[in-house]
Amino acid sequence: RYSLAIVGINLTNMIYQALVNGPLRTHFYNIAEKAPRIQDFHEVYCHVFWEFDKFWFDEEPVDIMQFGPMRDKFNRKLLHKLSKSQTILQSEFQKKE
């Protein structure tokens, strides 16, 4: 278990930093035919939260005190994924038909 508010704040900052510092631009270059919209950022947030949730339960941390190291490990994993030129952050529930 974890606090949704704490995780949400941390993931928002993580995604924002990835956008400002450049790694998240890969995703937007790969999905956008035109300039990204706020909706595109919301979809990234949903995807990252979904992935963090799976990551958290797969890692099976002892307690919430492991949040910092788990967050950092997840961030490294996300940045590694974004370093690949073909990356698109999209979960199954987000696929458009």
3-state secondary structure 12-80: HHHHHHHHHHCCCHHHHHHHCCCCCCHHHHHHHHHHHHHHHHHHHHHHCCCCHHHHHHHHHHHHHHHHH
Tokens of 67: 């949040």
SS3 of residue 8 by DSSP: helix
79: containing domain: 4-94
Kindly state the average pLDDT of the residues 11-40: 89
The residue written with tokens 């696929």 in the block is: 95
Lowest mean pLDDT among 9-13, 14-18, 48-52, 88-92: 88-92
The number of distinct structural domains making up the chain is 1
Q: What is the pLDDT of residues 38-86, one digit of tens each?
A: 888 899 999 999 999 999 999 999 999 999 999 999 999 999 999 998 8
